[in-house]
Structure formats: structure tokens, C-alpha cells
Structure 1
Amino acid sequence: MPRRNNHRPPRPKNGVDAVRSSLRIIGGQWRGRKLDFPAVEGLRPTPDRVRETLFNWVQADLPGAQCLDLFSGSGALGLEALSRGAGSVTFVDRAPAVISQLRTNLNLLKAQNAEIIAASAQDWLAQQKADEEVRYDLVFLDPPFRQDMALPICTLLEERNLLQAHALIYLETEAELALEGLPDNWQLHREKQAGQVAYRLFLRQPVAQ
């Protein structure tokens, strides 16, 4: 009689799949759709509760908006924006696994109004010319925590003239980060904290010529 194999594969640490995880789109035409994303170190999709709050904040400005999703990671913010009627989304991330999965997910959703840029956010912004025709209505910024990226990225966004006159900028950071040195014409519009995460929405004011 054959012996029964009682060996079980080791459980993933913290119950997280070592290869991939999934996110759920919470509103719009793709509401309820679950999409995979790679388990890249440091990748932490914006939680559902925070996403719901964010999109309540911006819902009046979202239809037809040109959006920029920097440090896109799982693509949760940009995909949610597309689902809820954004005109277009540009995704920027440097991780090959992230880029590959974003392409797969956009194809699954048959999204036609998205662009994927394989580059670091800083490098891509630094290469943009101040006279580019593209101006974004809404920007999602979710840089890696505790790597001092938030303020330089915000500065580059303004310096490269990539924002519409009254653009909205969403910024998600570690709660303890002191936001000193943001562009003077960015006004804090909304602000909340969830655990160790602080999330804020800024309204850009036009710069006098």
C-alpha cells in the first residue's frame, strides 16, 4: 500500500503569495474586477478605503481628465481613474515585472486610453521639456516610503510645466514625513491619515506670468 504523502508546501510569509497578489477595482465600469499584480518588494497598493476617499474627493473633476500615475506599481490608482471615466492615464514605473503586468491588465480590460512608460519617475520627469504640449489635470503620487522622493518629484512636476493651471495632485506618504518645500502655488485641499499613511490632495494655482 503506498504511503500517504503528508508533506505540505511551506506557507508564504504573512500569508502573501510569493509570486503575485490581486487588487479589486472598486468603482466605475470595471467595478468588482480583480486584477493581478506582481509581489515586487516595496509595492503596496493604495488600500480600498483610501482609494474610495480619494475618488470621492476628485469625482467631479475626473470625467475626461488627463491623468499621470507616477510610481504606478500595481496601477490601482490609474486603473481606478480609467474605470471612473478619466480621459487618459499615463503610467510610469521602472520595474519590468510591474510594466509587464500593467500591459496584461490593460489588455484584459480592453483599455484604449492608456500609455505605459518604463522609466523611473525622476528620470522621466527630468527628461520632459517645459514647452511640452501635454498638461495633466490630475496626478497620482505614491512614491516609496522613507526614500526622500516626494519633495523632489513635486518640484520637478512644477518645474517641467506638466500641470494644467488648476491641476489636482494626490500625494501619499508616510505619516511622519514633514512636507516642507512644496511648490508655493500648491494649496492643500484635503488631508487624511490611515494608520501609518498620510494622504493629501493639493490644488494647483496658476503662476502669474
Structure 2
Amino acid sequence: MRVVAGERKGMPLKAITGTTTRPTTDKVKESIFNIIGPFFSGGIALDLFAGSGGLGIETLSRGASKAIFVEKDGRAFQTLQENIKKCRYEDVSETFRTDATRAVKGLLKRDIQLDYLFLDPPYHKTEYYELLNSLVEQGKLSKDAIIVCEHSVEVSLPSNYGHYALVRQETYGSTIVSVYRNES
């Protein structure tokens, strides 16, 4: 695993061994950023189920001004912190070792607008996609926010979350990447 593009391009990232996480491959990561835009001018990213932090770190490398990482697994969280430090993004990162539901409840209490939301829960935990509804309904996503969901080919996500509509889906083996944007 590595940072694909931007200011930290080529920086190797440590991955977690075992079956507790499923790192996004460089190929899929590169495809995601080809879809949502190769580079950014600021903005806040939320990487729920961050694992080793590959998506959030990639977003920072490509120009986001801040990233919030949420990871419950202890080993993954330690690796996430090591990757953030290695990439020198400590000053623009917030890390939370907690369940995604608790993290979203905390975010709902903050004065924050998210511009990039990455949601990649364990494939058998489809109830976590409902967290998107909470963030949308409470106005925590900016008008131009981009939502990226990674999910199993067996999982069908809705065509929209509030006024954020499914604009693109790509299949990579047993993984589907669904991208949502504001259509209002």
C-alpha cells in the first residue's frame, strides 16, 4: 500500500495483517480518486472504518485541509496513527478509536461541514450505511460533499441519501464503489 498521488505520492503505508480489516487496494484507491477528482482545494474528510487510513491520507495528500479518522480495532488504530505520523499529517488529522455510531453521534454535536465522506464498514454490517442518513439529515455534509461507499456486490445501497444521489458505481471483483453527490 502507498499514497498514489499528491504531496506524499509514493509514500509506503503500513497495512494491517489478518482479517479484521480489508485495506482498499492501490488500484481501487486510484480509481476512486479518478472518479471524485484527482486533487482538492481544502475541505474536511471523514474516513469512517479507517483501518490503516489509506483513503483519508490520500485525500490529505491530494489537497484536503483536514481529515477525521475513526477506527475501532486496536491494532488497526495503532497502524493508522503510525501512517499519519509517517506522512507528517498529525497537525491536520483527528483520530478516534471508537465505534462508528458513537463517532457520528459526536460529530452531530460539532459545528462541522464534511466535504468528503468515506464509508467502508465490514461487509456483513450493512446497518452502518444508515449513519449516512444521520449526517445528511443533520446537515453535516457540505453542499458539494462527495460520499464514497465501498460495499460487497451482495449489498444494494439506495439510489440516494437525502439530496445526495448515486452518480456512479464501479465494480472491482467482489467490491462495489458507490459515489454520491448533491443533486439539488
Output the TM-score relative to the length of structure 1: 0.80
Aligned position for 2:103: 124
The C-alpha deviation readout for 1:88-134, integer Å capped at 9, x for no partner, is 1000111122222222221222112111011111111123336x321
Q: CA RMSD in A?
A: 1.9
User: What are structure 2's unaligned runs of at least 5 residues?
Assistant: none
Residue equivalent to 1:113:
92
For residue 203 of structure 1, give the secondary structure of its aligned residue in structure 2.
strand
Specify the code of the residue in structure 2 equivalent to 1:152: E
- Taking the aligned partners of 1:45 and 1:193, their CA distance within structure 2 comes to 16
CA distance in 1, matches of 2:29, 2:158: 25
The answer to whether the 8 Å contact 1:151/1:182 transfers is: no
* Structure with larger Rg: 1
- Match of 1:160? 138
Query: Which letter does structure 2 place at the counterpart of 1:59?
Result: G
Match of 1:157, SS state, is: helix
Partner of 1:192: 170
Which structure would you say has the larger RCO, counting Cα contacts within 8 Å and 6 or more residues apart?
Answer: 2
Look up the SS of the partner of 1:37 in the other structure: coil
SS in 1 for 2:117: strand
Mapped pair 1:52 → 2:30: yes
Structure 1 stretches lacking a partner, 5+ long: 1-22
Q: Deviation at 1:166?
A: 2.3
Q: How many residues align?
A: 183
CA separation of 1:119 and 1:198: change in aligned 2, threshold 3 A: same
TM-score of the superposed pair, with normalisation by structure 2: 0.90
Q: Deviations over 1:51-77 (max 9, x none)?
A: 111111222662212111000012110
Is structure 2 residue 127 aligned with structure 1 residue 149?
yes
CA distance, structure 2, for counterparts of residue 76 and residue 28 of structure 1 = 13
Verify the 8 A CA contact 2:136 2:162 in the aligned structure 1.
no
User: Aligned partners of 2:132 and 2:33: how far apart in 1?
Assistant: 21
Aligned AA (1:50): V
**Identity among equivalent pairs (%):** 28
Aligned to 1:84: 62
Residues 181, 120 of structure 1: CA spacing in aligned structure 2 closer, same or farther, 3 A cutoff?
farther
C-alpha spacing 1:119/1:160, structure 2 compared with 1 (3 Å): farther
Q: Taking structure 1 as reference, are residues 165 and 61 closer, same or farther at Cα in structure 2, changes over 3 Å only?
A: farther
Distance in 2, Cα, partners of 1:65 & 1:162: 13
C-alpha distance in structure 2 between counterparts of 1:31 and 1:204, whole Å: 29
Distance 2:65 2:159 in 1: 31
Normalized per residue, which structure has more helix? 2
CA distance 1:134–1:41, shift in 2 (3 Å) = same
Say whether the 8 Å CA contact 2:24–2:54 is kept in structure 1.
yes
* C-alpha distance in structure 2 between counterparts of 1:197 and 1:94, whole Å: 22
